[in-house]
Structure 1
Amino acid sequence: MDLSPFESNNSVSCRLASQIPDVCRTEDCCLGIDEAGRGPVLGPMVYGICFCPLSKKEELKALKVADSKTLTEEERENLFEKLDESKSYVGWALQILSPNTISTSMLQRTKYNLNALSHDTAIGLVQFALDSGVQLKEVFVDTVGPAEKYEEKLSKLFPGIEVTVRPKADSLFPIVSAASICAKVARDRAVKGWGFAEDLGDVDTDYGSGYPNDPKTKAWMAKYLDPVFGYPQFVRFSWSTAQTLMDSKGVTVHWDDDEEDGEKAAQRLNNKSMLSYFGASSKGNAENTTHQPHRFFTERRLRSIDTL
């Protein structure tokens, strides 16, 4: 698994994929979807798909894939190698969502919550498999939100494909277990080899599991909080854990046009047209208009003009 495309710019989302086995383009296939790193405040979230022909389900099961959360890191790495060695009939693809992508999505003006981001990422990966020529007939998904609604949504988007959404799907269906392993291995490697774009000096990489309740994670976040600039992009700053620390330890920002000044300025305008505020006076500057200009203009020595 080559993570260099993501490591070259870990501030954005990145898709990685194996070669598509020829047999997956000629035989009916099943596909599993799972994610790793949904809850941590540190590092990326990785969505993974794994697919194989229906005729190879038993061979996949014989690899003894299991829910990645029940396996040690060494066991996951070994199972991923087995999946990679089975590339004649097993394929996979990953979508790595950087912490920066997650945070900016969740905090943008039009709210884009984690469930919607997860759904869209999963849908994009299924479409990627179809566009790559994989003959999908069955899709198995671990639920995000209400299982029935998610299943109905996917079934409408992909008619002709039998969609099954179940809680704990990674422990019920080997193809989802395989996807879980691919996603978890990718996240672990990305976190372990994280390249900090910020100048943090000899950065401490002992940040624990990345989950908000982990004492090591808490200690690392307290250590690397800059009171002015906040956190490096390794941190999901949309998480309440990060926001609480920034609110309590960060420098308070005072804006030029605070609420009180805004109210006074509104009173001075006396409901005049905004265009009239910028209109030229007899002498052509803001100081000679009939109203007192806002301090934003006077402090910056700005004047209205009527000719260029």
Structure 2
Amino acid sequence: MDTSAFDADNSVSCRLSSIIPDVCKTEDCCLGIDEAGRGPVLGPMVYGICFCPISKKEELKGLKVADSKTLSEAERETLFQKLDDAKGFLGWALHILSPNTISTSMLQRTKCNLNTLSHDTAIGLVQFALDSGVQLKEVFVDTVGPAEKYEEKLSKIFPGIDVTVRPKADSLFPIVSAASICAKVARDHVVKNWKFVENLADVDTEYGSGYPNDPKTKAWLLKYLDPVFGYPQFVRFSWSTAQTLIDSKAVTVHWDDDEEDGEKAAQRLANRSMLSYFSAPGGVTNPTQTHRFFTERRLKSLDTL
């Protein structure tokens, strides 16, 4: 799978897709939706769809797709290649949600929780298929949140399409299993080929599964916690695992915002304000002492707005 479009800038989200088979534009089709990487504190979450004519369901079954979680990495790669080779009747699309996108969405002023983000991404992929000319009649989805409410929501947004939302849909419906395989293969590729924009030199790639309870993941999080600037963008800094480590291991700083007088609060508590890291002692900007966090992101201090 070619994920180079995302690898080129993994700070933002990215959509990838196969060609749309001509038969999917003329025959009634079914579509499955599933995700990979919902729980990990490291790396992206990937949503995938697969679609094919309803008349080709038996051919899809013949590919012997299964829930990606029950397969080895090698088995997933082999099955994805089979799916991709079936381009005469089967298509797929992916939406890769970067860790940065996930965290900023969850922590912005108008917060967007993971369920809402998942729903919006799934809806966007169904709309992408429709806009591409796929004649959708059936949609099968692995549930996020209460299945009945999610099914009702999707049915209202896409009237005329028969929507089925079920727990463990990836083990019940082959078209969802196919979507699960596509999503998981994409996430595996992206994590394996991750480019750290923070220039971490010979970064240790033994970060385990990425799940918070994995000892290797915990050790990696401790190793790469910058005491001032936190984590590289590979980490979902909105996850409680990361937040807890930042609160307990990082330097205590105060941000200037509308709700608190950061400079005065910092002085009162004998801590440094976050703004102090932008300037040299005495308040005079000194580019030679700028931390690499700012130079790598081409950030500069401004005298006026």
Shorter-chain TM range is 0.7 to 0.9
2:2 aligned partner:
2
- Secondary structure at the residue paired with 1:2? coil
Return the offset for 1:53.
0.2
Unpaired segments ≥5 residues, structure 1: 262-298, 301-308
Write out aligned runs for 1:106-185 (5 A).
106-185=106-185
Q: Distance in 2 between matches of 1:13 and 1:127?
A: 17
Letter in 1 for 2:264: D
Unpaired segments ≥5 residues, structure 2: 255-261, 269-281, 284-305
Q: Distance in 1 between matches of 2:264 and 2:151?
A: 49
**Greater than 4 Å deviation, 4+ residue runs:** none
Are 1:242 and 2:242 matched, yes or no? yes
Return the offset for 1:260.
9.6
Q: Distance in 1 between matches of 2:267 and 2:187?
A: 47
Q: TM (normalized to structure 1)?
A: 0.84
- Secondary structure at the residue paired with 1:257? helix
**1:162-207 residue CA offsets vs partner (Å, 9 max, x unmatched):** 0000000000000000000000000000000100000211000010
**1:202-253 residue CA offsets vs partner (Å, 9 max, x unmatched):** 0000100000000000001100001011000000000000000001110001
Q: Distance in 1 between matches of 2:31 and 2:264?
A: 54
1:88 aligned partner:
88
Letter in 1 for 2:206: D
Q: Distance in 1 between matches of 2:222 and 2:61?
A: 44
Letter in 2 for 1:234: F
Letter in 2 for 1:59: E
Identity %: 83
Letter in 2 for 1:179: A
Letter in 1 for 2:217: T
Q: Distance in 1 between matches of 2:123 and 2:230?
A: 33
Are 1:191 and 2:191 matched, yes or no? yes
Q: Distance in 1 between matches of 2:151 and 2:8?
A: 36
1:30 aligned partner:
30
Q: Distance in 1 between matches of 2:146 and 2:264?
A: 44
Distance 1:252 1:80, change over 3 A: same
Q: Distance in 2 between matches of 1:187 and 1:62?
A: 25
Return the offset for 1:258.
2.0
**1:46-94 residue CA offsets vs partner (Å, 9 max, x unmatched):** 0000000000000000100000000000000000000011000000000
- Secondary structure at the residue paired with 2:264? coil
Letter in 2 for 1:113: N
Letter in 1 for 2:9: N
- Secondary structure at the residue paired with 1:75? helix
* Count of paired positions: 263
Are 1:256 and 2:267 matched, yes or no? no
1:264 aligned partner:
none
**1:96-143 residue CA offsets vs partner (Å, 9 max, x unmatched):** 000000000000011100000000000000000000000000000000
Q: TM (normalized to structure 2)?
A: 0.85
